[in-house]
Structure 1
Amino acid sequence: MTMTLRRHYQNLSRHGLTIAMALLLVVLVVAPLFTIFVETLSPRSGSGANAWVDVLASRLSQNLFWRPTINTMIIGLSVGIGCVLLGGLLAWLVVMTDIPGRPAIAFLATLPFMIPSFATALAWGSVFRNGRVGGGGGLLEGFGLSVPDWLSWGMTPTIIVLIAHYYALAFTVIAAALSTVNGDLVEAAQMTGASRKRILFGIVLPIVTPAIIAGGSLAFAGAVSNFAAPALLGLPVRMQTLSTRLFGMIEIGQTERGYVLAILLIGISAIFLGIGNRLLSGRRSFATISGKGARPRRFALGRSRLPLAVIAWTVCIMTTVLPILLLAAASLAPSSLSLFSDWTLHYWTGESSPAFARGQPGIFHNPQLISALTTTLMLGASVALAANIIGILIAVALTRQSTPVLSSLVSQLSFLPMLLPGIAFAAAYIALYGAPIGPLPALYGTKLLLGLALTAAMLPFAVQTGRATVTQISGDIDEAARMTGAGFFRRLGAITIPLAARGLAAGLLISFVNVIGDLAITILLYTPTSPLLAVLSYSYASDGFHQFANAVTLVILIISMLATGAATLLRGRRRQDFA
């Protein structure tokens, strides 16, 4: 009996961290999702049990679910296909051709994902907005051109903006796959007289099909859950998606219906990601990495070299540099009809004047901005720190206390927030922590609730960064310290964290950038006592104050670019240290 208890104690102490992390993930990820499902079946409120019928099979269901779902699917599929075509083309040009400026194109093609989608949406409005819907017109109307509604608002601009935002995902995944294509295969095909077209569609395309599916699936999942672009470009013409309809339901107090929409949105994302994974699992025969060194083989573009270079550079500039320039000009111009004349700093530093901008002071004279800036920076730093502390603990548990079943569970739960639409995730947190739980008070309307939701959402980034760093530290060092009597936290603070400091700093900055630009989660959980920069920008845009919205968005972009540059610099130094 004593031996059995001792063995159980040893197993518990050996796997205690993994068990603790599993329980923490249940609290942060599983419990909120389970709660929204329970709430939609609960008869307590009188409407919970009927919410499914209201959404799916009632007089309201056409506007509540079916029409927003059709819009969501059209947007998701169009964005997925568009991102694969655009990202795949750029990946092929960068990895497998002799196009000039490959490193610069590769760098620029990864940046759009770091620019918040609402920034690109605002930039689109500065050019294509017309005066018939949603206020004053944009630059094209200033040139005397008549911009049709379908180009200013609704489905088309939403799809274009989201492709410009998410194609970086497809580019990254497809480029990584193309870099593994053995040049010997291409050279052998050329020696047999195969044409470029035959090589591309007969060899290269089948090999990278899994990456194409993965990139398209990620772009689809991001598009169907995106809130900012359809809200800014679709709501003015009453185009609803599941994410905007979910927000509207919770905003007006129809929480049970909102929870049903959240579950359905999660289900749609999960189904398509599952289809993508199923297709990937059936194509494992396309192995391209062997024990032999692969020699890269680039296609000579010949006469097409210059035109394709122009196309690639145009895409990169229009999705990275141009939106930032347009936002800067639109934050200075009194009218979007003439973006590059009569510039004024009023929208930045001007004091309140009844004769200008309906009495709105410049953003740096608005007490809300200072409060939002302080709150955003503090929240971003706190969430990044908390998420990366949990991430390093999970990474240590998975690498130092590995057990097949438990480790697999912890790994999958830590990645789950990546697959969940942000606005649905926020709804789940309202359902669980918005009301009192036993002696614990309700957290709705507090910064703590917002911080918890964002921390859980950042865990996939933190865990992946932590695992990549911790696995490079030899377990012999930790074992030697343990044998000298050093406890777990002593080893963690004296060995693991110092050795992983540079990689963890990069993880902190990546999480920070994602937090300050997040709108999907914060739009549901913020309160007037906890304003945030992203929400302030959205509020300005919704009220028609586009110059102020552009100025606030530029503040977010400047902070994001500084943090991204610091993270890139740290990763570069880290690679040099291990070279």
Structure 2
Amino acid sequence: MADATLNIQGKRVLFRPGTVLKLSVLIILILLIVLPLLRTVLFTLQPDTIKAWSDVLGSRLSKNLFYKPLTNTLLIGVVVSTGCVLIGGFLAWLVVMTNVPFRKTIGVMATLPFMIPSFAAALAWGTLFRNDRVGGQVGFLQGSGLDIPDWLAWGIVPTLIVLTLHYFSLAFTIIAAALATVNSDLVEAAQIAGAKGRKILMGVILPVTTPALVAAGSLCFAGAVSNFATPALLGLPVRMQTLSTRLFGMIEVGQVGRGYVIGIMLVIISGIFLWAGNRAISGRRSYATITGKGGRAKRFDLRGARWPLFAIAMTILTASTVVPVIVLFASSFAPSSSDLFANWTAHYWIGQSTPNIAQGTAGIVHNPDILRALGVTLSLGLAVAFTGMIIGLLTAYTLARYREGVISAAITQISFLPLLVPGIAFGAAYIAYLGAPIGPFPALYGTFALLVIAATAYLLPFSVQTGRAVIQQVGGELEESARITGAGFVKRMTAITMPLAVRGLAAGSILIFVKIIRDLSLVVLLFTPTMPVLSVVAYRYASEGFGQFANAITVVILSLSIVTTLIANRLQSKSQPWLNN
């Protein structure tokens, strides 16, 4: 009798609404995210590879293998995150809370740097500041007669500058959104009490925006320590290593075990700092600034400082957005970086193979390798946009409609796990996961399928966030009515949810498309000559001294990124509160 009762209860749990769907989603996420990371750890614990742990962490090689790259990585993370919070916070304060001239222009330009791939900014820096330390062409400034010191041309300083100018856009977006919610009553109460502008800023505004500052700093830190392209282009020529470049180097030379150990340590470091950021604000609950009482916007009057502060803001924004684009475009036509704005030629775009130019390399239009890479990149972007949005929408639907229970909690945690994993470490995990045969399934290394699966898993957090926004647009009562009439899950999704939220789905798909076509960290280890990707091809050309081709390819990627991002923003029609006040 007891066994029968347990059997009946088990069936009730199994056939409870949403259980099958939740289990299906959980299995998909485990296959895409958990197993690759677990396979990487297990690989390093095998008898013939476990020595890699002692090699990396406790041998005579450890200093160069791990500890020096770790020091550089942490320095980059701390300096870049601090700089991003300062610059992003300054611009957000100007746009949201002051009467600075051309607020909308500053606000729009401040969101653009994150659209530009970090390797594009690194290539632009090299085109301008490169000196003759490592041979090859010198940059425009040295070619113009200026003596560029090594510390400005290569190594840690240019890496810090480029990454800060790339990631401050992320900090701006987060901090500006938080400042837009600060109730003006708080500011007015401080003014009535006699507080001046600086006192209000330090004593009222900064404390209530602490969560945004911490979140911005944590995300910028995680992005900086995991970035591969910038330290590779600006640091590797002078043997400056970070954990990401060291990981790449180990796997490139076949020391896979050591590479995986470095990758695991990189994941742990990123996870610790993100956890510490969340922990720093989790113990306090007095950050609320939105209440039932409305308040009108209150801006600081900058008076005589309006135009000087505007000039400072535009200098930062011009250096991070306008200058890199101009430099890359000009370099794709210039015969050399030292003569950037003279004797232009279209050879690097439309030229045939000529022995006396670039060692016979044909321009983009006639270069079969580049054209193949363009086709693979576009196909990859479209495939990942489709698969990512399907899985993201399915995951978001499950969490929105069936949010209770242990399974839902596990889905939530796993779906956002890739945010803790640097792209290059995630790529390494997929080599360990699908790079060798699994039972009857063949190895996928070097195939298009591996690129699609790895990219879909890596971008899943963004897919889920977009899916959540889509699901929130559709009232649950519509689906409930359809369910009562006998419509199944697939019918409800295809006939109700997706048609009603098609604009949001399209916008989310485009943003995922943009993220993967400009990504280098994830695909640099998955790249093969038979399955080339534009970003890696550009990196290879730059590493081999063909800067014009690298810059021309980057211009193509940049154009695709900006155009498709603008289309996505138009589809979403998202209001930016700091621009609407």
Matched, 1:530 2:531: yes
Q: Is the 8 A contact 1:181 1:294 kept in 2?
A: no
Task: Give the match for residue 286 of structure 2.
Answer: 285
Q: Is the 8 A contact 1:395 1:466 kept in 2?
A: yes
The letter of the residue matching 1:112 is P
The letter of the residue matching 2:418 is P
The letter of the residue matching 1:528 is P
Where 1:21 maps in the other structure, the secondary structure is helix
C-alpha distance in 1 between matches for 2:366 and 2:555: 16
C-alpha distance in 2 between matches for 1:19 and 1:126: 52
**Higher mean displacement: 274-283 or 510-519:** 274-283
Task: Give the match for residue 7 of structure 1.
Answer: 12
Q: Is the 8 A contact 2:18 2:398 kept in 1?
A: no
Q: Is the 8 A contact 1:134 1:236 kept in 2?
A: no
Task: Give the match for residue 223 of structure 1.
Answer: 224
Task: Give the match for residue 67 of structure 2.
Answer: 66
C-alpha distance in 2 between matches for 1:563 and 1:306: 33
C-alpha distance in 2 between matches for 1:355 and 1:388: 48
C-alpha distance in 2 between matches for 1:462 and 1:135: 43
Matched, 1:197 2:201: no
Q: Runs of 5+ in structure 2 lacking a partner?
A: 577-581
Task: Give the match for residue 87 of structure 1.
Answer: 88
CA drift of 1:401 comes to 2.2
Matched, 1:26 2:27: no
Task: Give the match for residue 163 of structure 1.
Answer: 164
The letter of the residue matching 1:225 is S
**Higher mean displacement: 199-208 or 185-194:** 185-194
CA drift of 1:565 comes to 1.3
C-alpha distance in 1 between matches for 2:14 and 2:42: 36
Q: Deviations over 1:528-568 (max 9, x none)?
A: 11111001100100000000000000000111112111101
CA drift of 1:395 comes to 1.2
Task: Give the match for residue 428 of structure 1.
Answer: 429
Q: Is the 8 A contact 1:503 1:574 kept in 2?
A: no
Q: In the superposition, relative to structure 1, how do residues 314 and 415 fare at CA in structure 2: closer, same or farther (>3 Å)? A: same
CA drift of 1:258 comes to 0.5
Off by >6 Å, runs of 4+ in structure 1: none
C-alpha distance in 2 between matches for 1:548 and 1:500: 41
The letter of the residue matching 2:25 is M
C-alpha distance in 1 between matches for 2:574 and 2:407: 35
Task: Give the match for residue 137 of structure 1.
Answer: 138
Task: Give the match for residue 247 of structure 1.
Answer: 248
Matched, 1:235 2:236: yes
Normalising by structure 1, we get a TM-score of 0.97
Matched, 1:406 2:407: yes
CA drift of 1:15 comes to 1.8
C-alpha distance in 2 between matches for 1:264 and 1:436: 26
C-alpha distance in 2 between matches for 1:281 and 1:168: 25
Q: In the superposition, relative to structure 1, how do residues 401 and 267 fare at CA in structure 2: closer, same or farther (>3 Å)? A: same
The letter of the residue matching 1:28 is L
The letter of the residue matching 2:516 is V
C-alpha distance in 2 between matches for 1:573 and 1:558: 22
Q: Deviations over 1:127-186 (max 9, x none)?
A: 111122242111111220000011001000001000011001111111111111111111
Query: What count of residue pairs does the alignment treat as equivalent?
Result: 571
C-alpha distance in 2 between matches for 1:307 and 1:348: 41
**Higher mean displacement: 383-392 or 393-402:** 393-402
C-alpha distance in 2 between matches for 1:339 and 1:139: 6
Normalising by structure 2, we get a TM-score of 0.96
Q: Deviations over 1:241-269 (max 9, x none)?
A: 00000001011111110010000000110
Q: Is the 8 A contact 2:98 2:302 kept in 1?
A: yes
Q: Is the 8 A contact 2:334 2:340 kept in 1?
A: yes
C-alpha distance in 2 between matches for 1:183 and 1:574: 20
State the superposition RMSD in angstroms: 1.3
Q: Is the 8 A contact 1:373 1:532 kept in 2?
A: yes
Task: Give the match for residue 209 of structure 1.
Answer: 210
C-alpha distance in 1 between matches for 2:32 and 2:301: 52
C-alpha distance in 1 between matches for 2:208 and 2:152: 37
C-alpha distance in 2 between matches for 1:131 and 1:217: 37
Q: How does 1:330-409 map to 2 (within 5 A)?
A: 330-409=331-410
Task: Give the match for residue 579 of structure 2.
Answer: none
Where 2:414 maps in the other structure, the secondary structure is helix
C-alpha distance in 2 between matches for 1:215 and 1:574: 20
CA drift of 1:572 comes to 1.5
CA drift of 1:439 comes to 1.1
Q: Deviations over 1:478-498 (max 9, x none)?
A: 011011111110111111110
CA drift of 1:408 comes to 2.0
Task: Give the match for residue 40 of structure 1.
Answer: 44
Q: In the superposition, relative to structure 1, how do residues 291 and 549 fare at CA in structure 2: closer, same or farther (>3 Å)? A: same
Q: Is the 8 A contact 1:69 1:241 kept in 2?
A: yes
Matched, 1:111 2:112: yes
Question: Identity across aligned pairs (percent)?
Answer: 57
Where 2:376 maps in the other structure, the secondary structure is helix
Q: Is the 8 A contact 2:396 2:468 kept in 1?
A: yes
The letter of the residue matching 1:7 is R
Where 2:15 maps in the other structure, the secondary structure is helix
The letter of the residue matching 1:30 is V
